[in-house]
Amino acid sequence: MSWLLLIATLPGQNSGLRVRFWRQMKALGAAILRDGVYLLPQRSELRQSLDELRGELSAAGATAYIVELAKQDAELEDEWLGLFDRAEAYRECKAELDALLKAFARVHGSGSTPSISALAQKPGSGLRDRLLPRRRSRTGTTRRGGRGGASHAPLQPR
């Protein structure tokens, strides 16, 4: 598998930029190798997102480099693939969802079960970002939604 490596140095005084950058890297599902060094599987849509992010960082006075890495030895490949293992996060999310469904059943009776989308939209549930995929609207902006979203996890290595 080929990889993308983003190496970034952000100005220390711009905390807003740091937060936006961190959120964007998290949304892409990047693995953190060390401070300022992020790893993603080589995919055209991820490369495009990194190119756009690099432009934003440059405009804000930061530096960023995108490096394409060829397939690595088996041991390192396994280690890097492990950085993208979301099994524990999915178990935690499922446990939280199960608890919400039980609480809902206690309040509304066991005959009515809400949709996952409805539960995820509940303010303060914390489930929205973890359950609902990002999708592009007709205007090209990204939004979250419960219906018609992406049918795959965007960062599962192919």
In a domain, 133, yes or no: yes
With a threshold of 0.85, does the pTM exceed it? no
In a domain, 158, yes or no: no
Between CA 79 and CA 73 the distance in angstroms is 10
- Which residues share a beta bridge with 37? 7, 34
Q: Tell me the pLDDT of the chain averaged across its residues.
A: 77
Mean pLDDT of 37-65: 93
pLDDT of residue 108: 73
Q: Determine the number of helices (DSSP H) and then strands (DSSP E) in the chain.
A: 6, 6
pLDDT digits 0-9 by tens, 58-117: 998 899 999 998 888 888 888 888 888 888 888 898 989 988 888 887 777 666 555 666
Judgement on whether residues 21 and 70 belong to the same structural domain of the protein: yes
Residue that terminates a domain, selected from 45, 67, 82: 82
**Which helix (DSSP H) or strand (DSSP E) does residue 20 occupy?**
helix 15-28
Domain around 20:
3-82
Residue with tokens 């996060």: 89
